[in-house]
Structure 1
Amino acid sequence: MQKSKLRIVLLIVILGSFHLKAQAQVPAGYGLVWADEFNDSRAADGKPALRPDKGDWWYETGGGGWGNNELQYYVPGITEFYNDSLAAISDGTLKIKAIKRKYYGMEYASVRMNTSNSWTYGYFETRAKLPGGKGVWPAFWMLPKNFQSWPLDGEIDIMEYVGYDPNVVHATIHTQAYNHVIGTQKTSTKTILNAETEFHVYGLEWTETRIRAYVDGELYFTFSNDGTGNKNTWPFNVPFYLKLNLAIGGNWGGVMGVDTQIFPSTYEVDYVRVYQKNTALSEVKEENLFDANFNNVSNLLRVSFKEQGVYHLFVTDMQGRALTDLSTTNTTSEIDCSSWAKGFYLLSANNGKRLSTQKFVKY
């Protein structure tokens, strides 16, 4: 009986070793392989933290409408002329902002972020609060790593939202055979309460045979592989990136015009997580990023990193409750655990490229 309970607890910890601010809706058999929790501390001067370009994310920049006649210019986190922070992290969330400012000939400035990692198959999830008002168009979506041609290479929209249609979220796939240009896109909508004032969990399971989208754990969209091996109908067998962006106006977002009084507009993201089948955190990387006094922890946990970098550290107890959540650039760190009860704990470190997790015991 006790062994069974321990196995259940360990499974819960593996699936949730990051600071889980909300219960994730993860299908059975999946393990966490990548996450950005946006828990960075503010800078010494009190300003929000910024997610650097070419780390976990890179910024797609430019204007020109992005194929949809959109009105914003995407900037690399901060506007060049006005010093506006449009991808700032504070109080445990990422705030992607759109502002009404002339910028390289465009009427607005905003952000489009792309993960540096890509994945083939998995469960992908964010918890977010969406901006409202006519003209806003936030999305959480995917394009292929080796993207060359739309719609042939495929697109997966995990969550899209247009502000003129409050509380209605969309999940859609686009392929050569199924896309909105020819009116054959495969899509579904879900009406939810308080999309603009409360956080909701948006998830997508992508396997070799089907794609399924969820809101708050409720399935509302399914697209199945027809098994023909035809890229025109199923291009979803190659690595895809994840994207977060806030567009303004455009062929869809701007159908009802743009309310200029709603700016600045904010798309608030609590976390982004990626899970894959039958993958425990300990199996994700061949070698730990750190050494520590795991077998001799009393008042201090001493962590030494094997290479220079920026590290995000989490410590949770065996029930998944977060005890420490910090970022550091030091090659060594000490974590005060003198007030913790005796027992087992889990330490995770993420440097933006690799993830390592190790269990330890406090005596």
Structure 2
Amino acid sequence: MKIFLFLIIFTSSFLFANKEDEILSQTTINSIAYQEDKTSYCRDRSNPELLDWSQEFSEPSLSKDYWRYRVSNGFTENGQYISGWGNDELQYYTRPDRKNKKNHTSDNLFIEDGLLKIQPIYSTKSYLGFNFTSARIDTRYLKSFTYPSRITICFKVPRGGGFWPAFWLMPVEDIKWPQGGEIDIMEHRGRISNIASSALHFGEAYNDKSTLVGETLIPKKVRFIDKFHSISLEWRENELKFYLDNEKQPYFSVKNTDDFFSKYGYPFNRNYYMILNVAAGGIYDDYWIDKGTFCNDKECSNMKNPDNHRLLVDWIEYEKLDK
């Protein structure tokens, strides 16, 4: 393994580590905005007239026009069932049962206080053989997204070892992963208080690909996991930029001409659908899991502050940009 280090000074500093098939960039953000203690540091809302699509979660029902549930603990590829979603994840994704069908919600996903809440649950009583349950929703076949645009999510991550919340994009076309590219707008390790990340996956196959990861580091005193933050993807032809909150400089950006894409090419000029989920355990955080930080039932009656153990989403925006 070769390590390359260099420093760029403006509002952020960057550390690049180059592995054989993975490149990690880390950007430290010391924004003056974080000197003020606020509940939310999310980016200012866009002019509604400029939005192509948005979700505010102001009603108790999740829109069936845009969201569908993905169920199970894995997927089938080439006739073979891949458990744990290929990442050794522990959760079984559920769908609305009869009591929640009207609102298109479930014990693991519901709307409350104007927030979409995804709540992984750990129970000693198994559900279809699984002790962890959670929710995963997507817009496939219902709503697609492409460039030039800006996609923003305002969210608060769950606190505790083993939580893996993610907001990401996959190709609309039925194409073998990761040939069409995967855009992870937001991922987070629940035990880490001040880091969020974005990632890009692309290549020919699971064992023949590249991964680019961009992490944003926030001062620990800000307590990233205790506040609402936003991540925005500014998506143009042949270029992707990721922004935290109201920052003017991206913490992660790529262009099709970057050397990263010389081997496999640049796959991100296409239509994608949106995915929102919270996984439990798995390879993302080296199999770290703390069962005591998970809710034990829908009411999360074992926690003093249940919302600290749920992914909370305030709003999502999709704004078309000029070319």
TM-score normalised to structure 2 length:
0.68
CA distance in 2, matches of 1:138, 1:35: 20
Alignment pair present for 1:237 and 2:255: no
Determine the C-alpha separation between the residues in 1 that align with 2:206 and 2:224.
24
The one-letter code of the counterpart of 1:111 is A
Residue aligned with 2:242, SS: strand
Percentage identity across paired residues of the two chains:
33
Query: Which one of 43, 54, 79 corresponds to residue 35 of structure 1?
Result: 54
Q: Deviation digits for residues 107-143 of structure 1, max 9, x if unmatched? A: 2111111122001111100100000111110011110
Pick closer, same or farther for the CA change 1:25–1:157 going to 2, 3 Å. farther
1:191 match: 217
Partner of 1:96: 118
Match of 1:58 in 2: 68
Equivalent residue for 1:270?
314
Aligned residues: 245
The answer on 1:24 being equivalent to 2:55 is: no
Provide closer, same or farther for how the CA distance between residues 230 and 148 of structure 1 changes in structure 2, counting only shifts above 3 A. Answer: farther
> What is the CA distance between 1:256 and its match in structure 2?
4.9
CA distance in 1, matches of 2:263, 2:269: 9
Is the Cα–Cα contact under 8 Å of residues 155 and 175 in structure 1 kept in the other structure? yes
For 1:108 and 1:78, the matched residues in 2 are separated by: 17
Amino acid at match of 2:214: S
* 2: CA distance, partners of 1:164 / 1:182: 30
- Specify the code of the residue in structure 2 equivalent to 1:51: L
Pick closer, same or farther for the CA change 1:84–1:208 going to 2, 3 Å.
closer
Alignment of 1:148 with 2:175, yes or no, is yes
Distance 2:174 2:159 in 1: 31
Q: Which runs of 5+ in 2 are unaligned?
A: 1-40, 74-82, 296-308
Aligned-pair CA distance for 1:226: 2.4
Higher Cα radius of gyration: 1
Once the two structures are superposed, residues 24-79 of structure 1 have per-residue CA deviations (whole angstroms, 9 ceiling, x without a partner) of 376x9x93100010011xxxxxxxx2315x42211111113111110001112459
Give the Cα separation in 2 of the matches to 1:225 and 1:31. 27
In 2, are the aligned partners of 1:50 and 1:87 still within 8 Å (CA)?
A: no
What is residue 233 of structure 2 aligned with on the other side? 204
Instruction: Measure the CA separation in 2 of the matches of 1:96 and 1:79.
Output: 19
State whether residues 162 and 288 of structure 2, in contact with CA within 8 Å, keep that contact through their aligned partners in structure 1.
yes
Check conservation: 1:174, 1:180, Cα contact below 8 A.
no
Query: Take 2:240 and 2:186, find their aligned partners in 1: how far apart are those partners?
Result: 13
Give 2:198's aligned residue: 171
Q: Structure 2 CA distance, aligned partners of 1:35 and 1:231? A: 36
Match of 2:303 in 1: none
1:25 and 1:217 in contact (8 A); partners too = no
Deviation at 1:89, TM superposition (A): 0.8
Q: Counterpart of 1:261 in 2: which secondary structure?
A: helix
Q: Deviations over 1:233-278 (max 9, x none)?
A: 211121101111000011113x152101011230000011101124
**Which consecutive unaligned segments of at least 5 residues does structure 1 have?**
1-20, 41-48, 280-363
Cα distance change on mapping 1:182 and 1:92 into 2, 3 Å: same
How many Å separate the matches in 2 of 1:105 and 1:202? Answer: 35
CA distance in 2 between counterparts of 1:78 and 1:271 reads 25
For the pair 1:221 / 2:245, whether they are aligned, the reply is no
How far the C-alpha of 1:216 sits from its partner, in A, is 0.6
* Matched-pair contact (CA < 8 Å) for 1:62–1:74: yes
RMSD over aligned Cα atoms? 3.0
Equivalent residues of 2:203, 2:209 under 8 A apart: no
Normalized against structure 1, the TM-score is what?
0.61
- 1:311 is aligned to none
Partner of 1:250: 282
Aligned partner of 1:86 in structure 2 is 108
CA contact (8 A) 2:202 2:210 kept: no
Letter in 2 for 1:56: Y
Q: Does 1:112 align with 2:136?
A: yes
The change in CA–CA distance for 1:197 and 1:25 in structure 2 (over 3 A counts) is: same
User: Cα gap change, 1:84/1:186 in structure 2, threshold over 3 Å: closer, same or farther?
Assistant: closer
| Paired residue type of 1:205 | E
Which residue type is aligned with residue 130 of structure 1?
V
Describe the shift of the 1:25–1:252 C-alpha distance in structure 2 as closer, same or farther (beyond 3 A).
Answer: same
1:303-338 deviations in whole A, cap 9, x for unaligned? xxxxxxxxxxxxxxxxxxxxxxxxxxxxxxxxxxxx
Aligned to 2:159: 132
Question: Closer, same or farther in 2 for the Cα pair 1:140/1:78, shift >3 Å?
Answer: farther
